[in-house]
Amino acid sequence: MSISIVVPFYNEKECIEECIKSINESFENEDYEIICVNDGSSDGSENIVAELAESDDRIKYISYNPNKGYSHAIRSGFKESTKEYVSFVDADLQYHPKDLLKLYNHAKENDLHFVLGVPQNKYSNLRRRLMSYCYNLYVSLIFNMNFKDANSLKLMRRKFLENINFQFEYGMIEIELLVGFKMQNIPINTFATKTYERSAGVSKCSFKIIWHTIIDCIRLRMSRNSLVEKGYCIPPAQNQDTVCARK
């Protein structure tokens, strides 16, 4: 078993080195790669990662300019991934690599295709908690999927990830992943995890991103039949044969 960990970053010079160090420490006994994606940074974080990548062959470095957004950065990392499992963590370490390792071990032990973290603690700020609740309720109603946090830590098998035609920007990749795996009849397993406060840097969340996500959820709901490639193979249930959809 092996894992590709995508780290998208945009102006995270206070956090990025600690993030990469934490991944290396957490996964030191595993077969893994780190794919760092510089999404148009201009604060020096791009130089920090470039130097780390030169001295560590487990780190792949992707860089482009100008900034193209969170979803684009993650998609860029997915395209370069080579391991059996794929995940992504933000440079601010809201989800710590040690908790991703727990998800990874759980997936390996139970031969799971998709694992979604369920935060046991998130946002001490009342306003952020209310926003998170309303957002997840909205997404659950739009897509008829029941989960506590659509934007939580995710771990998935790459072979099923490759069947998804990502269409949207901003933070929509989080939802496209959930809907895309569901449309492939892949169970979304959950695993308790923790969240942590940002230790440095500035959050990139904004009203613009929230507004686009609200609109794009409706657009995805209307176009979801084009989200998954035709011709994919549905994982077999116990004692059943694999079923492949026609192109």
pLDDT band at 197 (very low <50, low <70, confident <90, very high): confident
* Two tokens, residue 9: 């970053």
Number of helices (H), then strands (E), belonging to the chain: the values are 8, 9
In contact, 31 and 112? CB cutoff 8 Å:
no
Residue ranges in the chain assigned as alpha helix (H) = 16-26, 45-55, 70-80, 97-110, 126-143, 158-161, 173-183, 207-223
Question: pLDDT tens digits for 3-28?
Answer: 999 999 999 999 999 999 999 999 99
Please, what sign has the CA dihedral across residues 175, 180, 185, 187? negative
Phi-psi region of 30 (alpha: psi -120 to 50; beta: other; left: phi over 0): beta
pLDDT at 230: 62
pLDDT band at 43 (very low <50, low <70, confident <90, very high): very high
Q: How many CB atoms lie within 10 A of CB 176?
A: 21
pLDDT at 238 over 50: no
pLDDT band at 245 (very low <50, low <70, confident <90, very high): very low
Which residue segments constitute the domains of the chain, with CATH numbers given? 3-232 (3.90.550.10)
pTM above 0.75, yes or no: yes
CA dist., res. 209 & res. 242, Å (int): 39
CA dist., res. 87 & res. 105, Å (int): 13
Q: What separation, in Å, do the N-terminal and C-terminal C-alpha atoms of the chain show?
A: 30
